């Protein structure tokens, strides 16, 4: 038995295979432009924020940092130092940062919401500090949360980026 191949049909088949492979490559979703690179927990006391300029003016100097606190007038507490791959100023103006955190010895996560401040200009840095301060962090200096998850949410409730500790997924 002799097999004959129609060159036109073969060409059409090869072209269809080539186009379908190109289309599957083009449907890959692009990587999110803003990502959380790292989250480091650190206990920081009030005195560590005080600068010479603050002694002179009486006003806190953030030194080109974005510092968001659960209790604005309290500085001592646990801070999650968040490093992004892009500058904070790249975030949409209506971004809300959700911090879900398991406190030491607690079985349920507490949720803290930090809206991005409505200012003319955000700091031109890739780092921000989220602080659980005052009565929101009643633990000693060496205590650490069991697990945490940080989510950046836009005004349409879409997740911009999120990252959690390794223990969070257990």
pLDDT for position 6: 65
110-115/159-164 β-pairing: unpaired
pLDDT in tens, 87-133: 999 999 899 999 999 999 999 999 999 999 988 788 889 999 999 99
The predicted pLDDT at position 16 comes to 52
Give kind and range of the element (H or E) at residue 117. Answer: none
Domain boundaries defined on the chain: 36-169
The pTM is what?
A: 0.77
Q: Are 147 and 164 in contact (CB under 8 A)?
A: yes
Looking at residue 71, its pLDDT comes to 97
Please report the pLDDT score of residue 133 as a whole number. Answer: 97
CA distance linking residue 80 with residue 86, whole number of Å: 17
Residues of the chain with confidence (pLDDT) below 50: 14-15, 17-31
Which stretches of the chain are DSSP H helices?
A: 7-26, 52-57
Round to whole Å and give the CA distance between 35 and 100.
18
Answer whether CATH 2.60.40 is correct for domain 36-169: yes
Beta strands of 12-158 (E only): which ranges?
Answer: 36-44, 66-69, 77-84, 96-102, 110-115, 127-133, 147-153
According to the model, what pLDDT value does residue 75 have?
95
DSSP 114: E
Report phi then psi at 167, rounded to 5.
Answer: -70, -25
- The per-residue pLDDT for 159 is 96
> Which residue reads 């500090």 in tokens?
129
């Amino acid at each position: 038995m002799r097999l004959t191949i129609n060159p036109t049909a073969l060409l059409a088949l090869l072209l269809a295979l080539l186009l379908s492979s190109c289309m599957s490559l083009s449907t890959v979703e692009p990587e999110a432009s803003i990502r959380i690179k790292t989250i480091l927990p650190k206990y920081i006391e009030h005195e560590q924020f005080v600068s010479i300029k603050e002694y002179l003016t009486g006003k806190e100097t953030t030194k080109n940092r974005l510092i968001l606190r659960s209790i604005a007038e309290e500085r001592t507490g646990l801070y999650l130092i968040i490093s992004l791959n892009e500058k904070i100023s790249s975030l949409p103006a209506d971004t809300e940062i959700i911090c879900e955190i398991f406190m030491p010895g607690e079985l349920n996560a507490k949720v803290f919401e930090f809206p991005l401040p409505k200012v003319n200009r955000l700091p031109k840095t890739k780092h921000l500090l989220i602080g659980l301060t005052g009565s929101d962090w009643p633990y000693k200096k060496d205590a650490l949360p069991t697990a945490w998850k940080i989510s950046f949410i836009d005004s349409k409730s879409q997740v911009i980026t999120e990252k959690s500790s390794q223990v969070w997924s257990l």
